[in-house]
């Protein structure tokens, strides 16, 4: 078996195990099995791994750095993939992100909304946006604080070139993911009251997908459980 065949088998096994885990989580939460979409987090892994995922039926992939993602998206332009941006976006990278990303899941401040709106308009695209909510008690680790959430959602919805898809969050570590995702579910109800189309809830990673599914996640973002341990990036 070649290295490429071995890698394909490894990824197929990780994907299969994760799909089964996701189905079990949906069953346990009494939710339909197709209620939760799997997004595979491909950051730090090569474009060849993303191509393998595409051949195994994955359509949603997520990246956290503009430069790395831009290169992979260009290399794999012929494949039916939707690229999600899950990392913090610098304002001077917004125009670049707006060219390759189908969804920006990490909208966390108003200046970024303006920059993404201009970038999407310049690229002649309509960009789906998720507002990232900070579930940590202290600000700084990404995401808008809950008291600013409504205003930021309104700002996204006001832009012609942006579409408010919903919310994204990461559970604090250490911490109880059930408690964090329960708070997230309440914040989401408030946003949905004003923006009924903002139905996406991106929550849950390799370590806590079951808790996220219990609290209404519509997308989980899974990296290491499928692709293996990431090299530590400085």
Ligand X SMILES: *Cc1c(COP(=O)(O)O)cnc(C)c1O
d(CA 212, CA 178): 7
d(CA 159, CA 161): 6
- Residue count, binding to ligand X (CB under 6 A): 13
64 binds ligand X (CB under 6 A): yes
Stretch that binds ligand X, among 68-76, 107-115, 123-131, 223-231 (CB under 6 A): 223-231
> Which strand (E) or helix (H) includes residue 131?
strand 127-133
89 binds ligand X (CB under 6 A): no
d(CA 220, CA 89): 20
Minimum distance of ligand X from residue 64's CB (angstroms): 5
d(CA 111, CA 84): 20
- Choose which of 170, 191, 200, 201 interacts with ligand X (CB under 6 A): 170
- Choose which of 205, 211, 212, 213 interacts with ligand X (CB under 6 A): 205
Cβ pair 59, 83 in contact under 8 A: no
Minimum distance of ligand X from residue 167's CB (angstroms): 13
Question: Which regions of 19-92 does DSSP assign to beta strands (E)?
Answer: 37-41, 60-63, 82-85
Minimum distance of ligand X from residue 113's CB (angstroms): 19
Binding site for ligand X (CB under 6 A): 41, 43, 64, 86, 170, 205-207, 221-225
């Amino acid at each position: 078996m070649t290295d490429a065949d071995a890698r394909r088998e490894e990824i197929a096994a990780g994907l299969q195990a994760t799909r089964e885990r996701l189905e079990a989580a949906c069953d346990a939460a009494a939710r339909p099995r197709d209620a939760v979409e799997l997004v595979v987090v491909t950051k730090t892994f090569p474009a060849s791994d993303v191509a393998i995922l595409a051949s195994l039926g994955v359509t949603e992939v997520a990246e956290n750095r503009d430069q790395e993602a831009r290169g992979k998206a260009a290399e794999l332009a012929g494949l039916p993939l939707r690229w999600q941006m899950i990392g913090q976006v610098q304002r001077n990278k917004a125009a670049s992100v707006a060219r390759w990303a189908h969804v920006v899941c990490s909208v966390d401040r108003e200046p970024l909304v303006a920059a993404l709106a201009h970038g999407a308009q310049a690229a002649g695209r309509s960009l789906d946006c998720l507002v990232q909510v900070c579930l940590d008690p202290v600000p700084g680790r990404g995401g808008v604080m809950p008291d600013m959430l409504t205003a930021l959602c309104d700002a996204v919805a006001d832009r012609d070139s942006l579409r408010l898809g919903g919310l994204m969050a990461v559970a604090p570590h250490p911490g109880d993911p059930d408690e964090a995702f329960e708070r997230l579910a309440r914040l989401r109800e408030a946003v949905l009251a004003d923006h009924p189309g903002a139905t996406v809830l991106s929550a849950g990673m390799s370590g806590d997908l079951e808790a996220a599914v219990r609290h209404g996640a519509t997308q989980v973002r899974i990296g290491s459980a499928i692709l293996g341990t990431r090299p530590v990036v400085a």
